[in-house]
Amino acid sequence: MSRNNSPRKKNNWTSPSDLRAQVQKLWDKGELLTPLIESENCFPKRLNLKGPTSKEISENFEEVRLWVKALTNVSHFRIEIKTFIHQLFGINSIPGEAWIDSLDAALAMLGKRIEANRFSVLLDETRQRQPLLLRWLAKRPLKALELADRWSLLLDTVDWMQTHPRPGIYLRQVDIPGVNSKFIEAHRGVLTELFDISLPEDAIALEATGVGQFSVRYGFRNKPARIRFRVLDPSKSPLPGGGTPDITLDSASFARLPAIASRVFITENETNFLAFPPIADSLIIFGAGYGWDNLSNIHWLSDCLIYYWGDIDTHGFAILNQLRSRFSHVESFMMDRETLFTHESLWGNEESQALQDLPLLTTDEQSLFDALRDNRIRKNLRLEQEMIGFNWFQTALAKVAKGL
């Protein structure tokens, strides 16, 4: 065996910890629990084992001897020995294969017997109460273990939903012992997966996706959308005393308002919303970025002139495009090249750009959007609406008031 004093590169032979890591990976992927569902026996399992080459045995004989000893003394694994004849050391035996022979051995090696027993309890309860959910357990066994102390309540919730599909009530009104609205809200993600498996298709609004659409997807009542607005014509204020107060109504109540304006402004900035001056026969709505569902059923808006005032950046135009999908006659307000270049000293940066095509923009809007999206003026250019000079704003508003 060579005895030079130069440092040797650390070998990559399989160690006992490497074998354990392979079994741990099986646990992490759920592969040690899913066979319990269908009583499959997937053992014995052969593990990857890499040992020394003939050259390495010659050069590191003592190190190889210690490696063999470590592997053959390891618990819970079965090490199969292979014999070979070495030209220097004669007949030798080293580990050739590593096996783990049973689920119990794997669980004992990882210290996971308690967890496996707990999973078996979940499995038995699910098999008796909601056998359709066995395929969820097969897919998400470790998630089920995380929920072990709440699993019975989750099954109670599934039971209740099967009896009350699309209930048309608020989550607060669900009457299940031990379950309240906070429990349901905290577990919307997993309940979505369970409901999708266990409920009939006609009880699910498939187009409503994401936890934010949980109530819509399964037929619960949602808290009403609210619309914040100011009537800019004091003579048409819906409140006694006139003025232009800041008002918030649920969308249904807003929809029932009498015709109090023929012109509607929408702005994304709260300061602009509050500072918007009085103007005849007009009101202003405080926007909410993407999503205009709260305005979609306000039918009298279709008879109003609507002006949208957003930031001059790619997302501002994307929001305008989305609003036009509800109200095709919307006009943009101060979202033009002249406004942009007049305020060049106040340009900022848009962190991330909207890159999708926007088919509902006008020709001028499309030209400016393309220039921003393609960074032709400056990279990630943005002019926030609150940066626009107030005198510039008042001049533009006066032109609108005159119908110019």
Q: What residue ranges in 337-404 does DSSP mark as E strands?
A: 348-349, 381-382
Name the residue among 44, 52, 102, 43 with its Cα closest to residue 82.
52
- CA end-to-end span of the chain: 96
CA gap 394, 400 in Å, rounded: 10
Pairing relationship of beta strands 45-47 and 90-100 according to DSSP bridges: antiparallel
- The predicted pLDDT at position 4 comes to 43
How many residues would you count in the chain?
Answer: 404
Contacts with 190 (C-beta within 8 Å, 6 or more apart), sequence order: 143, 147, 154
- Nearest residue to 234 (alpha-carbon basis) of 276, 281, 267: 281
Residue with tokens 């187009």: 207
Place of tokens 């039918």: 299
Handedness of CA 353, 357, 361, 365 (dihedral sign): positive
Are 110 and 100 in contact, with CB atoms under 8 Å apart?
no
Going 107 to 108 to 112 to 115, the CA torsion angle's sign is positive
Report the C-alpha gap between 151 and 154 in whole angstroms.
5
The angle subtended at Cα 42 by Cα 28 and Cα 149, nearest 5°, is 45
Say if residue 251 is exposed, middle or buried (CB neighbours under 10 Å; 0-12, 13-18, 19+): middle
User: Are the C-beta atoms of residues 347 and 378 closer than 8 Å to each other?
Assistant: yes
Determine the pLDDT at residue 6: 37
Instruction: For residues 266 and 261, give the distance between their C-alpha atoms in angstroms, rounded to a whole number.
Output: 13
Q: Give the mean pLDDT per block of 10 residues along the chain (404 residues).
A: 43 91 94 85 90 81 87 89 70 85 93 95 96 95 96 98 96 95 96 97 92 93 88 88 87 87 94 94 85 81 94 96 93 97 96 94 97 96 95 94 74
Triad 256, 258, 260: Cα angle to 5° = 130
pLDDT score at 267:
94
202's CB contacts (< 8 A; 6+ apart) are 165
Please give the CATH architecture assigned to the domain spanning 226-401.
3-Layer(aba) Sandwich (3.40)
Q: Where are the domains of the chain?
A: 16-110, 114-218, 226-401
Q: Which helix (H) or strand (E) holds 307?
A: strand 305-309
